[in-house]
Amino acid sequence: MDKNTAVLTLKNLNKTYDNTTAVDSVSLDVVKGELLCLLGPSGCGKTTTLRMVAGFVKPTSGSVLIQGSDVTNQAPYRRDTGMVFQSYALFPHMTVAQNIAFGLQNIGFAAKAQTERVHEMLQLVELEHLSKRFPAELSGGQQQRVALARALAMNPAVLLLDEPFSNLDAQLRVRLREDLRALLKRIRITTLFVTHDQEEALMFADRVVVMRSGRVEQVGSPAEIYETPATRFVAEFIGWCSLFEGVVDGQGVFTTGKSIRLPLDHKPGPATVIVRPEYVKPAEALGSGPVFEARVTSNTYYGALCRLRLDVSGQEVLMEAHYPYGHGPSIGDRIEIRIDPKGARRLPAH
């Protein structure tokens, strides 16, 4: 198969419940080995989209294609998808090995082939030593790996993951998502996963689909989504940013009136500009450019950095900076800042 051929295609997918439109005209292609993430706030239609791919929810209109064949009206077990549910949904009365073997019996694996496949999966997720345990005797991270092994045992064309890390503590979540990404890349499985956590989407996905109220707002690489958001919604949903409303003049200067002036070599006219907080620095940390006087309205310590909200003549500006031991400025202090023009991005006009 050509490496750009879509393994999974959604065509104009819609789902309405009585008077709610859960998913609205979603079209996507996911290519072989790609990790595609659906990201968006609660209720935007992520799980509904995933469940339509798995076959647990019937679309109101539109279609789902897997490896080129239309599966819209096929039962879930005939779709060549494997799903890991948010709650893992392991069978509590079965051991780890029995959980992994479960689907294999149904598709006619002989006993010996089953044992081999289960062993291979246990090795893959590094759980050989726990094969005889029951789910209640496992940690959350181990249960997740069993659920993953059960889904992968069937060698599905498409793996579906719904909020795969949400039941895990913060440290384990970070480690497991790095491990899982490496594993999925190694076996080159095409994966569609859902999260409402922007950091998780950025680090885990090859491409991110930002959804809003059932619709696709932007599709792009993590860097594109973060650095060049297509809309104000995406800019604000993916991390912290300052938003400036102003005008680009004929001299290539963007100005919000009295407070902010930045070089911006763009077409003259009204402009909305976003600046991520890492492009705002204490004046002495950035060699050149206009200096702005700012009043600190909040300063929150996050360890490696502090997040500050600043007021520049009535305009809110957000800054991240490293202050050893958190000894940054206090609320009410006046500080001098510079804004790196490289970090100023104009949002496309709509």
Q: Which residues make up the interface to ligand ATP (CB under 6 A)?
A: 17, 20, 22, 40, 42-48, 196
- Residue 248's DSSP bridge partners are 254, 269
CB of 180 to ligand ATP, least distance (A): 19
Task: Select 47 or 299, whichever has its Cβ closest to Mg ion.
Answer: 47
Contact call for residues 310 and 296 (beta carbons, < 8 A): yes
Q: Could you tell which of Mg ion, ligand ATP, none binds residue 17, using a CB distance below 5 to 8 A set by kind?
A: ligand ATP
- How far from each other are the two terminal CA atoms of the chain, in whole angstroms? 38
Q: Could you tell which of ligand ATP, Mg ion, none binds residue 257, using a CB distance below 5 to 8 A set by kind?
A: none
Q: Could you tell which of Mg ion, ligand ATP, none binds residue 256, using a CB distance below 5 to 8 A set by kind?
A: none
Task: Select 43 or 76, whichever has its Cβ closest to ligand ATP.
Answer: 43
Task: Select 193 or 292, whichever has its Cβ closest to ligand ATP.
Answer: 193
Task: Select 51 or 345, whichever has its Cβ closest to ligand ATP.
Answer: 51
Classify each residue of 268-296 as buried b or exposed e, where b means 16 or more C-beta atoms within 10 Å of its C-beta.
eeebbbbbbbebbbbbeeeeeeeebebeb
Q: Could you tell which of ligand ATP, Mg ion, none binds residue 44, using a CB distance below 5 to 8 A set by kind?
A: ligand ATP
Task: Select 43 or 68, whichever has its Cβ closest to ligand ATP.
Answer: 43
Distance of CA 236 to the CA centre of its chain: 14
Task: Select 13 or 127, whichever has its Cβ closest to ligand ATP.
Answer: 13
CB of 250 to ligand ATP, least distance (A): 44
CB of 47 to ligand ATP, least distance (A): 3
CB of 47 to Mg ion, least distance (A): 3
CB of 17 to ligand ATP, least distance (A): 3
Q: Could you tell which of Mg ion, ligand ATP, none binds residue 218, using a CB distance below 5 to 8 A set by kind?
A: none
Classify each residue of 127-148 as buried b or exposed e, where b means 16 or more C-beta atoms within 10 Å of its C-beta.
beebbeebbeebeebbbbbbbb
CA distance linking residue 123 with residue 131, whole number of Å: 10
Residues 6+ apart with CB under 8 A from 289: 338, 339, 340, 341
CB of 249 to ligand ATP, least distance (A): 42
CA distance linking residue 193 with residue 211, whole number of Å: 13
Q: Could you tell which of ligand ATP, Mg ion, none binds residue 150, using a CB distance below 5 to 8 A set by kind?
A: none
CB of 57 to ligand ATP, least distance (A): 8
Q: How many other CB atoms sit within 10 Å of the CB of residue 46? A: 26
Q: Could you tell which of Mg ion, ligand ATP, none binds residue 48, using a CB distance below 5 to 8 A set by kind?
A: ligand ATP
Q: What is the dihedral of CA 113, 117, 119, 123, to 10 degrees?
A: 160
What number of residues does the chain have?
A: 350
Task: Name the residues that contact Mg ion, by CB under 5 A.
Answer: 47
Q: Could you tell which of Mg ion, ligand ATP, none binds residue 91, using a CB distance below 5 to 8 A set by kind?
A: none
Task: Select 76 or 269, whichever has its Cβ closest to ligand ATP.
Answer: 76
CB of 66 to ligand ATP, least distance (A): 20
- And the tokens for 215? 């619709």
What DSSP string describes 206-221?
SEEEEEETTEEEEEE-
Residue nearest to Mg ion (CB): 47
Task: Select 16 or 228, whichever has its Cβ closest to ligand ATP.
Answer: 16
Residues 6+ apart with CB under 8 A from 17: none
CA distance linking residue 106 with residue 276, whole number of Å: 52
Contact call for residues 265 and 254 (beta carbons, < 8 A): no
